[in-house]
Amino acid sequence: MSLPSKQEALAFFEYVIAERNRSPFPFRPEWEKEFRAHCFSVADIAAKIASQTPYLNSERAYLSGLLHDCGHIKDEKSENVFHGWTGYQLMKKQGWDEIGRISVTHCFLNKDFNPELYPQARQDILHCKNYISDIEYDDYDKLLQLADMMNDRGKNCSLQYRCRSLAERYPVQEEFLTTHFSCAENLRLYFEVKCDCDIYQLLNIRNE
């Protein structure tokens, strides 16, 4: 297993933002602020949950959370790509295969696919589908899926809040949204057993 040090991960995170801002499609200032807040928050959530279990490594969880969305080094809509696959390729190039895996798996709870969310990136979505069809999700995959769902643009939130926000921003069908929420809720309950605690209380989040 090859992972970056925390210092290397932080430096790479800044590199990703700098590269995006040097591109023809830079972050808008408010988007960069939300991106930073989201990634650091997901890292903190993942590490905190991991620390409550006897078997998950909180440092690995933190690094995975920090870098899980680095595929946003490219603008999805303008460059016709999907950030999960872009992130996978980026992490593989660094030799950080475990985080590359998370780049893909955090996007697909229960291996559910909705190509309508990314009509401009069907080829990347197909690559992701082929990739995860050959693996079984482990508890790091599940942990980062949950952590990502418990933060919305930098604000820690309930799963209900996150799903409402996704519905406002993406053309999701009600059936997909219901399934997505159900999968996320099952992940929360799964880790409550592993942690022997209430996840919302652990993270000081109101369930609303």
Q: What is the CATH number of the domain that holds 89?
A: 1.10.3210
Asked, for residue 68, whether it belongs to a domain, the answer is: yes
Per the structure, the count of domains in the chain is 1
Asked, for residue 42, whether it belongs to a domain, the answer is: yes
Token output for 67: 């870098």
Q: Which domain holds residue 198?
A: 6-202
pLDDT attached to residue 108: 93
Q: What span, in angstroms and rounded, lies between the C-alpha atoms of 192 and 75?
A: 36
Secondary structure (DSSP) of 64-103: HHHHTTGGGGS-HHHHT--HHHHHHHHHHHHT-HHHHHHH
Asked, for residue 60, whether it belongs to a domain, the answer is: yes
Asked, for residue 84, whether it belongs to a domain, the answer is: yes
Q: Quick one: which of 112, 102, 104 has its CA closest to 182?
A: 112
Beta bridge partners of 156: 151
Express each pLDDT in 108-163 by its tens digit. Answer: 998 866 666 677 788 999 999 999 999 999 999 999 999 999 999 999 999 999 99
Which pLDDT band, with edges at 50, 70 and 90, does 201 fall under? very high
Express each pLDDT in 18-76 by its tens digit. Answer: 999 999 999 999 999 999 999 999 999 999 999 999 999 999 999 999 999 999 999 99
Residue type at 50 in one-letter notation? A
Asked, for residue 207, whether it belongs to a domain, the answer is: no
Express each pLDDT in 39-53 by its tens digit. Answer: 999 999 999 999 999
Asked, for residue 208, whether it belongs to a domain, the answer is: no
Q: Quick one: which of 1, 121, 123, 20 has its CA closest to 69?
A: 20
Asked, for residue 1, whether it belongs to a domain, the answer is: no
